Amino acid sequence: MREDFLHYVWQHQYFDKADLRTTAGEEIQVLRPGQRNADAGPDFLNARLRLGEVEWNGAVEIHLRASDWQRHRHQTDAKYDQVVLHVVHTADADIYRTNGSLIPALALAPRLAPDLLGRYEALVQAPAAAPLPCAPLLPQVPQLVRTMMTERALLERIEQKADMLAELHAHLGHDWEATAYHALMAAFGFQKNSEPLARLAKAVPLPVVRRHRHDARQLEALLFGQAGFLVEDEATAGDDYLADLRLEYEFLRHKYSLAPSALAAHEWNYLRLRPANFPAVRLGQLVGLLHRRPALFDALLTAGSVAALTEFFGSAPAPAYWQAHFRPGRPGKVPGLGKSSIALLITNVVVPLRVAYARQVGQPALVESSVALLSELPAEHNQYTDLYQDLGFEHRTAADSQGLLAMHKGYCQPRRCLHCAIGGRLLGGGAKSLINR
């Protein structure tokens, strides 16, 4: 048993409250269990209890064993003097405040329903290889509860991404255009090359890009040169186009005192990538976008539909050379930015970027319309989303996919069943007979 199970039991009062008494025999009435404390200090704050004839307002601390109080060194921490009830599974010691006064204790071990404990153990003790610990019990969970949990996880995932962009925005001097530039540069790496493209954005900052975005050749030279793609080698020897870019890059590098080639060839990833996703291909597409879209943030903010965003990304082709070369000096027909790639950019950049901005300026309607974009995109299919779909979860749009991925990463994989509405439904079902006592 883990301590968070007792937190869950106390928060929802899932225990037998008939003739509820402290270990010293004093009668207990729980008028308010308190609010969970996410910071340092007791587990629940602002609890309201009647102990005997006296009503108390204070904190509740929870442990598996009463002696854990000493093990956690609470006996020397004055923050815990506000505790008015020590809730434990097993009362194996008397506990005192720093002034020497005894803290009343409630032992839950004899008051837990065996069915509730059994359901909890079935969830948290599922084999590590089991992808979804509640899978055998899912038929007991109404579809409405599953949908609500998926939507909750989706919003949490978007908020997390928006938080990261808000931090980036602050780091970049509260410049939304720079935030959009850095976010798009990293996103065009599509995971495998996100980190080197994020570094490239730092090596070629937006003010430099702004000075040359009107000239595609100069912009291409700057970005490809700093990316390390203009170094002459066996594959590029004799390529006049790259030689011309190399000369332009050297001029611009000296003009802006840039370090030669911010990235080396070995820092780019090619393993298990289709040629259409090679880094030079994606960088070429970025050059086309930056050249033809001088105001990134405004365009991403005001686009009213997925169709408008698809046109924004899809109608800014890469320079001609990178439409015919997968890598420097290596020819081959290269497809443009596909619909699935655009969908990922909308999901991972556009939506959280708009949400981060909407939160800052206080526009809840923009948050809603931005999240709604995901419902216009098709569902993503991978080993995780397919798993949930096979178990009966709704999976029709990218909003569903993102919610399922968030639920898997944030709840199912780390076994946070007690924090999940589905786990709560399963556990709560085993405690119904005790809730109203």
Predicted pLDDT at 223 = 97
Predicted pLDDT at 225 = 96
* Cα→Cα distances 338→17, 119, 192, 275, 341, Å: 60, 46, 17, 13, 5
Tell me if 374 sits within 8 A of 355, measured CB to CB: no
Predicted pLDDT at 415 = 83
Stretch (H or E) spanning 287: helix 279-292
Question: Model confidence over 329-377: pLDDT tens digits?
Answer: 999 999 999 999 999 999 999 999 999 999 999 999 999 999 999 999 9
Q: What angle do the packed helices 216-226 and 279-292 form, to 10 degrees?
A: 150
What pLDDT band is residue 128 in, cutting at 50, 70 and 90? low
Question: Model confidence over 17-36: pLDDT tens digits?
Answer: 999 999 999 999 999 999 99
In the predicted structure, residue 419 carries a pLDDT above the cut 90 = no
Predicted pLDDT at 129 = 66
Tell me if 47 sits within 8 A of 58, measured CB to CB: yes
* Cα→Cα distances 106→12, 86, 303, 309, 353, Å: 16, 6, 58, 58, 48
Question: Model confidence over 291-338: pLDDT tens digits?
Answer: 999 899 999 999 999 999 999 999 989 999 999 999 999 999 999 999
Q: Structure pTM?
A: 0.80
Nearest to 10 by CA among 28, 30, 25, 26: 30
Predicted pLDDT at 429 = 55
Question: Model confidence over 51-107: pLDDT tens digits?
Answer: 999 999 999 999 999 999 999 999 989 999 999 999 999 999 999 998 999 999 999
What pLDDT band is residue 196 in, cutting at 50, 70 and 90? very high
